[in-house]
């Protein structure tokens, strides 16, 4: 790993927001999921959650895994399972929905642990999901259309969350991810060849020194090289 690569990954890790995420209900279009994951990475979001449209689940999962290696995509069987997992992390659930009870998305305090719930492209968010949310929000529009593409809408809301958190000093100070997760991302991003070898040989990721270089015992190197 070059010093420049190490510095870039370290800076990225220091901007990650473990208590901000997006949950997409019943993913249908592969390109929308890929766009949401890409935007999440740009906004410092480390995890995206999803339930899947039955007809496109296999394709969508493959797109998700290949579109952005820096973001974890968590699959859930049901919306209840997804919300339960997010509640365990202490998150408020914000749902996008055009309704009489919806508030301007900018009125939400995104410095709190927050999950942004987006509905399916065809039908929007389900009544079941809405019943589990704390608040529904809208993006005010003054044209003839009443809705935006789901990836565009999610990007607008994520950008507002980033703006609020930036003002609050939540970006770039220290890494807020668990040490194990930091190590995984740093190793996989900085040593892709050895990452693949570890997977092929069933070996744990080795320790890294203060400059991100592999600091493994001789036994690990022998195992990587196929020696006894």
**Is 39 a known ligand-binding residue?**
no
Extract the residue ranges of the chain whose pLDDT is less than 50.
57, 59-60, 64, 66-67
**Is 2 a known ligand-binding residue?**
no
pLDDT of residue 137: 93
Same domain, 148 and 197: no
C-beta neighbour count of 31 within 10 angstroms? 12
Same domain, 9 and 23: no
User: What is the greatest pairwise CA distance in the chain?
Assistant: 70
Same domain, 1 and 58: no
**Is 139 a known ligand-binding residue?**
yes
Same domain, 193 and 88: no
pLDDT of residue 227: 64
pLDDT of residue 210: 93
Number of domains in the chain: 2
Closest by CA to 19, choosing from 115, 100, 99, is 115
Cβ proximity of 147 and 104 under 8 Å: no
pLDDT of residue 67: 47
Same domain, 217 and 133: no
Same domain, 117 and 80: yes
pLDDT of residue 193: 94
Return all residues near 216 (Cβ < 8 A) that are at least 6 apart. Answer: 206, 207
Look up the pTM and report it.
Answer: 0.86
């Amino acid at each position: 790993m070059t010093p420049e690569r190490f510095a870039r990954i370290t800076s990225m890790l220091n901007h990650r927001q473990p208590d901000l995420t997006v949950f997409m209900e019943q993913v249908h279009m592969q390109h929308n999921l890929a766009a949401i994951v890409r935007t999440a990475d740009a906004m410092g979001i480390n995890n995206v959650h999803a339930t899947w449209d039955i007809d496109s689940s296999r394709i969508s999962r493959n797109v998700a895994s290949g579109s952005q290696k820096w973001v974890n995509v968590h699959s859930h069987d049901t919306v209840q399972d997804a919300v339960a997992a997010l509640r365990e992390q202490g998150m408020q659930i914000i749902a996008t929905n055009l309704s009489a009870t919806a508030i301007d998305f900018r009125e939400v305090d995104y410095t709190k642990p927050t999950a942004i719930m987006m509905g399916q492209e065809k039908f929007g968010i389900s009544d079941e999901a809405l019943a589990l949310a704390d608040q529904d929000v809208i993006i005010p529009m003054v044209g003839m259309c009443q809705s935006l593409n789901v990836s565009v809408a999610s990007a607008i809301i994520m950008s507002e969350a980033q703006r609020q958190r930036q003002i609050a000093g939540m970006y770039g100070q220290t890494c807020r991810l668990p040490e194990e997760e930091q190590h995984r991302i740093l190793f996989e991003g900085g040593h892709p060849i050895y990452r693949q070898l570890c997977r092929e040989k069933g070996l744990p990721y080795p320790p890294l020194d203060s400059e991100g270089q592999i600091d493994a015992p001789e036994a690990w190197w022998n195992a990587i090289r196929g020696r006894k």
